[in-house]
Amino acid sequence: MRRIFLMQAAVLATGAALSLAGCGDSHPVPASGSDQSAPAAPAQAYAPSSGEFVPASADVFSKSAEPSGKCNLDAINGTAPGSKPLPHGQRALFAGWAASNDGKTVPQIIAIVLRGTRDFEVQTPAGAARPDVASANGEPGLANAGYAIRAGLSAVAPGNYTVELHYTAGGKAWRCESTHAVTVQ
């Protein structure tokens, strides 16, 4: 029985790894210091920045931003975004990647925006090594498209939020609407 279980686990892990490689999603950055188990970091792991979510400024929405399909929020605290509620007042590790739609340029700064009854944002530097994203998308310009930030949630009111990324790359302002929703409790 144990052997069958181990074989099933291996098949599921292999399938998950292949599906991630095929779509350009990344390996989640582990949430070190958290009580949540996380997958091992890839060899190109990078140190996250740190910051605090604050009420979103009108400036983050005032730029004419085109929708972007070259981005992803890969993980929050090392797990799939939205899979676990985020504790109000604590910190959460957000990780992913972003680029211009042509895949040739990456932003210097990314604003992660939680959209809800009230909107909140945190800004993080981009440019972390992401050769997995470059390889999966066939775009060498995406090799440094990564970001990771350990962001404080003290200012974020409990509730449900959608996640957007706002950034400038290739001379254009981009808005990346994630399909992920998160809950802050």
Domain total in the chain: 1
Q: The whole model's pTM is what? A: 0.75
How far apart are the C-alpha atoms of 60 and 71, rounded to whole Å? 17
Q: Is 45 exposed, middle or buried (0-12, 13-18, 19+ CB in 10 A)?
A: middle
Q: Which CATH number goes with the domain that contains 91? A: 2.60.40.10
pLDDT in tens, 62-93: 776 788 878 999 999 999 999 999 999 999 99
Structural domain span for residue 146: 2-184
Least confident of 23-27, 54-58, 70-74, 180-184: 23-27
